[in-house]
Amino acid sequence: MHPFEYRKVASAAEAIAQSADRRDAIYLAGGTEVVNWLKDGIVTPSLLIDLSACEFDRVSLDAETLSIGGLARMATVAADPAVQQIAPAITQAIEASASPAIRQMATIAGNLLQRTRCPYFLGARHSALGTRPSALGTRPASAERRVPSAEPCNRRVAGSGCGVVAGDQVGAAILGASPGCVATHPSDLAVVLAVLEAELVVQGEAGRRILGVEALYPVTADPAVENTLLRGELITAVRVPVGRAAGRARYLKIRRRASFDFALVAAAGYWLVEDGVVADVRLGFGGVAARPWRARTAEAHLIGRQPTAESVARAVAAELANAVFLPGNRYKADLLAAAATKLLLDPPGLP
């Protein structure tokens, strides 16, 4: 682990001020991402700004908005009665994320700001054996035990290439990918928030701004761009509009293991059927792009159609008209259609 200075701050304003003085500072919230990245040398800040004492970690509700603090822990949010009542898909998405202990630590903003990754981005872990440091005192445990990734990855080392091209393509993106990167964004929550049209309250040196959750992510995957936050900016809250979409949307995640795994594909949304046809629908996909993928083409395709599996399959096919497949991820087209069909026709029950 690269040496760093450490400061614990008590407010967003203090965090932003500390960050302004140090161009390469990074924020530490739950730590479930950043501590791994520090160990792997993926981030090498000279200053770590610990947000854990800040107070933007509350859930609040008024007539129009469910507001979730950026520092709220995932487990706390999933168990919150207001969240479960107003936007149960948020609870579904969180409970499908990571493992219970990680959800106790990880924060909502941190979840949205996870790095887009694939096995090649994480490749360093496979070459870390045999470099255990000596006891504490002479050399800190967990420090400097990782070696640089032996795998090509444009997100790890610009211009090093992409290991997926000739390698493991099972998880690779099919929408919005670039030649340089076909990794997917891992957040389950982001898919639900895109469908609920949630907004982010973002604070930085220039003040406060509101950002639609979809606008947090680049439109087309770019290995050099993780998200659209400006340097030093923080997500202090997620604001979810109260209403039909929040109340009716559900989340369905398909993964290789029954639990504690990233999505192969995921679907979020709902439809409303009136007079035998789809009168209102929202649909979003996970596991298909370096961003949560709001399926607006599929939505437009479904309006006025009969609520059948055939309609869903055609709508998903329309959404995937511009999809680019690799030999190892062609299955995602069928699996996505199946997931969307199950989500809309037979939505998963609430916890």
Partner 1 sequence: MPVHLTVNGRAETLDLDLRTTLLAGLRDGLGLTGTKEGCDRGECGACTVLVNGRPALACLMLAVSAEGQTITTIEGLAADGSLHAVQQAFVDHDALQCGFCTPGQIMAAVGCIEAGKAGSTAEIREWMSGNLCRCAAYPQIVAAVAAAANVGR
- Report the first-to-last Cα separation within the chain, whole angstroms: 40
In the block, tokens 């950026």 appear at 70
Q: How far is the CB of 79 from partner 1 (least distance, A)?
A: 8
Side chain identity, residue 98: A
Tell me which residues in 241-260 interact with partner 1 (CB under 8 A): 258-260
Quote the least distance from Cβ 329 to partner 1, whole Å: 23
Please, what sign has the CA dihedral across residues 136, 4, 186, 97? Answer: positive
Of 99 and 220, which CB lies nearer to partner 1 in the complex structure? 99
Pick the stretch among 17-25, 31-39, 151-159, 191-199 that binds partner 1 (CB under 8 A): 31-39
Q: Is 18 in the site for partner 1 (CB under 8 A)?
A: no
One of 26, 143, 317, 318 touching partner 1 (CB under 8 A): 143
How is residue 294 written in tokens?
């709001």
- CB of residue 36 to partner 1, shortest distance in Å: 5
CB 202 within 8 A of CB 211: yes
Q: CA–CA separation, 216 vs 279, rounded Å?
A: 29
The C-alpha angle with vertex 102 and arms to 97 and 105, in degrees rounded to 5, equals 120
Residue number, 51 or 281, with CB nearest to partner 1: 51
Establish if 10 lies at the interface with partner 1 (CB under 8 A): no
Which residue in the set 12, 15, 16, 28 belongs to the binding site for partner 1 (CB under 8 A)?
A: 28
- The enclosing H or E element of 270 equals strand 265-274
Angle between helices 331-345 and 309-319 (to 10 degrees): 130
Q: Which tokens in the block code for residue 271?
A: 């439809």
Residues 6+ apart with CB under 8 A from 340: 267, 269, 283, 285, 295, 298, 312, 315, 316
Binding pattern for the stretch 166-195 against partner 1, x by CB under 8 A and - elsewhere: ------------------------------
Residue 3 or residue 130: which is nearer to partner 1 going by CB?
3
> Shortest approach of partner 1 to residue 255 CB, angstroms?
11
CB of 92 to partner 1, least distance (A): 13
- Is the CB of 47 or the CB of 215 nearer to partner 1? 47
d(C-alpha 167, C-alpha 148), whole Å = 19
Least separation in angstroms between residue 179's CB and partner 1 is 29
Q: Contacting partner 1 (CB under 8 A), which of 38, 42, 254, 315?
A: 38
Long-range contact pairs involving 45-49 (C-beta distance under 8 Å, separation at least 24): 45/2, 45/4, 46/4, 46/5, 46/22, 47/4, 47/5, 47/6, 47/7, 47/18, 47/22, 48/4, 48/5, 48/6, 48/7, 49/7, 49/9, 49/15, 49/18, 49/19, 49/25
Nearest-approach distance from CB 186 to partner 1, in angstroms:
13
Q: How far is the CB of 318 from partner 1 (least distance, A)?
A: 35
129 binds partner 1 (CB under 8 A): no
Nearer to partner 1, 72 or 98 (CB): 98
Alpha-carbon distance of 44 to 30, in angstroms, equals: 18
Phi/psi region, residue 304 (left: phi>0; alpha: psi -120 to 50; beta: rest), is left
Kindly state whether residue 140 participates in binding partner 1, applying the rule CB under 8 A.
yes
Q: Which of 13, 141, 206, 210 binds partner 1 (CB under 8 A)?
A: 141
Q: For the chain, give the number of residues.
A: 351
Q: Show contacts with partner 1 in window 62-101 (CB under 8 A).
A: 75, 79, 98-101
Return residues touching partner 1 (CB under 8 A).
Answer: 1, 3-6, 8, 28, 31-32, 35-36, 38-39, 48, 50, 52, 75, 79, 98-102, 104-105, 125, 135-137, 140-143, 145, 258-260
